[in-house]
Amino acid sequence: MIPMRGLTVLPTMVLHFDISRDKSIKAVEAAMAEDQMIFLVTQQNPDDNNPGLRNLYNFGVSARIRNVAKLPKNIVRVMVEGVERGRLIGVEDYDGYLHASVDFAREREVEYDEITRLAMTRGLEELLKRYSQLNQKFGKEMLRQLLELGDFEKLTMAACVHLPLRCEQRQALLEAEDMVERYERLCTMLVREMEVIQIQGEIQQKVRERVDKNQREYVLREQAKLIQEELGEDTQLSDANGYDEQAEQLCASDEVKEKIHKEVQRLRGLGGSSAESAVQRNYIETLLELPWDKVSEDSHDLKRAAKILDEDHYGLEKVKERVLEFLAVRSLTKKGDSPILCLVGPPGTGKTSVARSIARALDKKYVRISLGGVRDEAEIRGHRRTYVGAMPGRIAAGMRQAGVKNPLMLIDEVDKVSSDYRGDTSAALLEVFDSEQNCKFRDHYVELPIDLSEVLFIATANDTQTIPRPLLDRMEVIEISGYTANEKLHIAKRHLLKKQIERNGLKKSQLEITKPALEGIISGYTKEAGVRQLERRIGQICRKAAREILEDGSKSVRVSGKNLEKYLGRKRYTYQKKNAQNEIGIVRGLAWTSVGGDTLEIEVNTMPGKGELVLTGQLGDVMKESAQAAVSYVRSLGEQYDIDAEFFAKNDIHVHIPEGAVPKDGPSAGITMATAILSAVVQIPVRADVAMTGEITLRGRVLAIGGLKEKLLAAKQAGITTVIVPEENRADIAEIDKEVTEGMELVYVRTMPEVLEVALAVRA
């Protein structure tokens, strides 16, 4: 027996094959020494060099060896003729070659009449004719020889032998139990092969057509290139080819590359001198320069980030803590959603510079976009390309500038955006700031979705009141309150002084500003929550020092508290200190302004009249209503303080807040007005060392207020030792540095009687 690799022999089939295995060569030699008969069976796995019974098909063919020829490299070529089909029963290794036990039981005979026989013969002949038309390998001469056989059984066996079938198909025909089953299997194979050939032909035809089309386009393109060279328009063609090359090298999705190739194709069809050509170039270059899938490697070193933030900024613990939390989460998750942080605080408190430091700490690209005064929605979303002078929006332009898809993008002055007939700018920002939507942000100019999910957005604002609620809801607000005098001193010594000395061309040894001088600048020449004005004053000293060094030949300049006025002139600001003695109808209130906290003296006088309430000092609507509520509350205390029932009908009450040119409004002067009015009406003095803040209800409840740190700072600068604060603000005090509240008594109140008990010098 010889195991056959990838080859199945059928009865009556004549073929030659090569053998190289020692067992197969010895089997042929043994057969030639006896009756030249050998059993051929196909291996199921052609790679098996020593197949056993399990790796051999059940049926094989006994064959007569017609010829044996020895070839080089120990290869033997054998020519055989298939004789009879047999079932393999067993295999044994006998004297160095395989010996098979075979059952040559005859096939099952099936009886069928002449008409059926004729129908089956014609059906097979028809299939063979159609097959020969589709398969060029099956020649017409072979078809003619088969059709001449006429007999059904001979035709079936001849077709099985001569058709170009695969090994598995021949094995299936060999294993058929009778001639009818073999006929049916053969017809099924023919029909299936014809379908495969037909589909294969259609595919090849499409490929051929596509190749022909590409060939035609290539020829036409070369012709167009020659024509453009003759017309002097070859630059556009070379640019287009360059754009195609850049698109292939672009780190982007197939959708983006396909869009660029399509636009480049349009560019090729435009004349080089046409206006549309320049527009098309700008659009293609914008697409090529956007960072579709290009990212930068972020730093994950928490200690380094903390060190950089501490170096660049003094204080601001909440901001630093939040940035380090974000970095820790990013390090653990490897990605994570980038938050949209909103730094809210007065001008000059370092919001913009904090964002720059965060970018440096995280090793991110830094892009700043200022929205102050932006009215047009297209500034955010971009202009549609149909408009003349269209360009991408500021977000897409910022991504283009950054060059990576994960920069830190600072959206400055987000509270200053406005809307008009050209659209609502803040509404356009909703998609940018929504982490669920910004992964597919659509710019009208770009027309392709831009992924903003990995951008770390940081917005800045002076006040949240002017930010639309839906936009504010998408941001995580971090309050940056004003600096204390001590904090300003540290910032000036660590950052501002060094910065201004370098900026004005001086050396560190040439200028010395003492601590008392810095304290004098802070108290007498600045009045703000931030340090911008402080930096300007230090810069002013540096400029005067530079002039003095050049003109007088001085080696160095020393600025102390005594000679400060020489460089800055007389003091600009004096904080209104507390009154020297208790007075009737005068109460010190606390106010929050856009540049920090301040104290306000509320003065009340009563005089004969018609019961009118007069309000002066440019009060806003909220403060006017607070005053009316305060009067109503004081009237309700008539019996408790023995106020004449006719007093309010026969006397006018005048409420005045000094500095009348400055507009004032806010919901925190209610208890101050009520105390001042009651003091004026009942002629009881108010303690001069007490300041207060809080809103009042008609029934005398005290409501919470905002901007508490700035107000306490103002109270401290005015020398106030006792501050009345709403009970609901007790939790806010825990977040304020002890430096602010040190040496100050805070009294928490829920109702107006508690306020009066502390504030009035003579208690009722």
**Are 535 and 677 in the same domain?**
no
**Are 449 and 313 in the same domain?**
yes
Mean pLDDT value of segment 28-41: 88
Strand 722-726 to 745-749 pairing: parallel
Residue 36 has pLDDT above 80, yes or no: yes
**Are 307 and 281 in the same domain?**
no
Cα end-to-end distance, the chain, whole Å:
127
Tell me the pLDDT band of 235, cut-offs 50, 70 and 90: low
pLDDT computed for residue 605 by the predictor: 92
Specify if 75 maps to a domain.
yes
| Contact between 355 and 398 (Cβ < 8 Å) | no
| Contact between 353 and 313 (Cβ < 8 Å) | yes
Tell me the pLDDT band of 751, cut-offs 50, 70 and 90: very high
**Are 540 and 414 in the same domain?**
no
pLDDT computed for residue 607 by the predictor: 92
DSSP string across 424-488? EHHHHHHHHH-TTTGGGEE-TTT-SEE--TT-EEEEEES-GGGS-HHHHHTSEEEE--PPPHHHH
pLDDT computed for residue 110 by the predictor: 72
Confirm whether 556 is a catalytic residue. Answer: no
Specify if 87 maps to a domain.
yes
Q: What's the CATH code of the domain at 437?
A: 3.40.50.300
**Are 591 and 695 in the same domain?**
yes
Q: Two tokens at 687?
A: 């303690």
* Bigger pLDDT: 490 vs 596: 490
Residue 80 has pLDDT above 80, yes or no: yes
Residue 673 has pLDDT above 60, yes or no: yes
**Are 445 and 524 in the same domain?**
no
Q: What's the CATH code of the domain at 636?
A: 3.30.230.10
Is the overall model pTM greater than 0.75, yes or no? no
Residue 586 has pLDDT above 70, yes or no: yes
Residue 764 has pLDDT above 50, yes or no: no
**Domain stop point among 84, 103, 122:** 103
Range of the domain at 445: 302-479
Strand 651-656 to 613-616 pairing: parallel
Specify if 66 maps to a domain.
yes
pLDDT computed for residue 155 by the predictor: 75
pLDDT computed for residue 368 by the predictor: 92
Which is nearest to 596 in space by CA: 745, 420, 716?
716
Report the DSSP beta bridge partners of residue 19. Answer: 76
How many domains, in total, are found in the chain? 5
**Domain stop point among 43, 72, 103:** 103
At residue 232, φ and ψ (nearest 5 deg) are 80, 20
Specify if 422 maps to a domain.
yes
Confirm whether 527 is a catalytic residue. Answer: no
| Contact between 542 and 496 (Cβ < 8 Å) | no
Specify if 120 maps to a domain.
no
**Domain stop point among 479, 513, 540:** 479
**Are 404 and 429 in the same domain?**
yes
Please report how the helices 152-162 and 114-134 are oriented relative to each other, as an axis angle in degrees rounded to 10: 30
Q: Is 755 left (phi over 0), alpha (psi -120 to 50) or beta?
A: alpha
Specify if 146 maps to a domain.
no
Mean pLDDT value of segment 421-426: 75
Tell me the pLDDT band of 724, cut-offs 50, 70 and 90: very high
**Are 361 and 443 in the same domain?**
yes
Specify if 221 maps to a domain.
no
Mean pLDDT value of segment 142-170: 76
Query: What percentage of the chain carries pLDDT values higher than 90?
Result: 7
**Are 703 and 651 in the same domain?**
yes
Residue 230 has pLDDT above 80, yes or no: no
Residue 517 has pLDDT above 70, yes or no: yes
* Bigger pLDDT: 52 vs 257: 257
Residue 63 has pLDDT above 60, yes or no: yes
Residue 661 has pLDDT above 60, yes or no: no
C-alpha 432/C-alpha 423 separation (Å) is 16
pLDDT computed for residue 236 by the predictor: 59
Q: Which of 668, 679, 709, 716 is catalytic?
A: 668
Q: CB count, 10 Å around CB of 164?
A: 11
Tell me the pLDDT band of 367, cut-offs 50, 70 and 90: very high
pLDDT tens-digit map of 89-106? 888 888 888 888 888 877
Q: CB count, 10 Å around CB of 353?
A: 12
